Structure 1
């Protein structure tokens, strides 16, 4: 393996999603660098369909306050569904939830504790910055969402390469109308998700709870590509 490949492998495999951040803001130069890296993402026919709102400081605090109010009032306004079906994907989401609540010491029956986990999401896990990723309405939206996924991965890996951290948060998209109203975003731009980012708090048990990944054999099908999935 070349040195460059080795560095990338290390980078992509150490990236994780902290659920607790230090309040220290990143420098303008660092944020710009991350945005410039993210901007190099590929997109269908080079449409570059992402519109990204980066929110910090007093604006961040105000947005969090509005999100928390929307949550307490039950004012969901998601632009996209969050249905995982009734099979393996739903089971994985349950496993994810169990790990998150378990790391917090929250029992399944502790409804107030579970509500507080959602509030922590809406406080951006105390991260000093949040990027909200919006997309235009183009066709059925699938290609556009895929493009923004690649943008987001660039964003996250750039943070990791610079010694910072980020966590994608689909729950922010559940309150799309609230976010649009707070930030003055036009209605035809749909909120896919947000990324809270900054410096992860290594002293917190929520810094890295180790989600893990399924084996390649469960997600990859090979056609005339021998040896790839052989036991190492």
Structure 2
């Protein structure tokens, strides 16, 4: 947990006066849950109890959404259900001819990369591969590392998120806030996550395997569990631009 867990944790939020000025300890605990969130790429096999997952999702559902439409749908995978999906996707991923038949339903990244976004993307990629000892010419090593996405990096819980495809950009903004809430609530319980856009290439397989309701569209996946502290890839800490670089204060 983050220093013994969040002060005024969400399970007790009903007993908290929401108009009180938060204590320094409360502020520090919330900040710690946010700033300690990182994408982990190696997990321990330690199970996560269902009630813990439910508690995290209950907290995450307090995310704001336009006119309270709450556009998120969550599919929680553990055990054999998770293994079946992973096996199906990996079988495709390792077959170049079959892989070529699977296209992303939507583009997560821009079609044209420009600075500073391209610079940041390259840096995080080479920082990760450097930790793993994967050289720039090692295409097989990169392929294998990317393929670990489709085992949810061995996390005991895999999450798949979907949305009604009739929803518009506003609902996708709402969804992002829900996902962030989920990741922060996980940190408050000593858990880690890795949000995964890699799954979107396999949206047809996932919709079939998980029996999506008609009209549901894949958003992304996410690994959830206890991070392996001995895995070198989990030591990666990405940089953030200073506030002055992305903020304008207009006062006059």
TM-score by length of 2: 0.84
Matched, 1:123 2:151: yes
4+ runs deviating over 4 angstroms:
none
Instruction: Decide which of 219, 223, 231 is 1:204's aligned counterpart.
Output: 231
Match in the other structure for 1:229: none
Rounded Cα–Cα distance in structure 2 between residues aligned with 1:163 and 1:62: 27
Aligned mates of 2:219, 2:118 — CA distance in 1: 20
What is the SS of the residue equivalent to 1:167? strand
**Distance in 2 (alpha carbons) for counterparts of 1:188 and 1:70:** 24
Secondary structure of residue in 2 paired with 1:80: coil
Q: Give me the whole-angstrom Cα distance separating, in 1, the residues matched to 2:204 and 2:89.
A: 10
Structure 2 unmatched ranges of 5 or more: 1-22
Q: Which residue of 2 aligns with 1:20?
A: 42
Give how far 1:76 is off: 2.5
CA-CA distance at 1:221 after TM superposition = 1.6
Q: How many residues align?
A: 224
Structure 1 residue 149 and structure 2 residue 162: aligned?
no
What's the secondary structure of 1:207's corresponding residue?
helix
Q: Is the 8 A contact 1:172 1:194 kept in 2?
A: yes
Match 2:142 to one of 104, 114, 132: 114
Aligned-CA RMSD value = 1.5
Contact residue 33 and residue 185 of structure 2 kept, 8 A: no
Structure 1 stretches of 5 or more lacking a match? 226-232
Contact in 2 for aligned 1:133/1:148 (Cα 8 Å)? no
Normalised TM-score (structure 1)? 0.91
Between the aligned partners of 2:105 and 2:245, the Cα distance in structure 1 is: 30
Shift of 1:86: 2.1
Q: CA deviation at 1:192?
A: 1.3
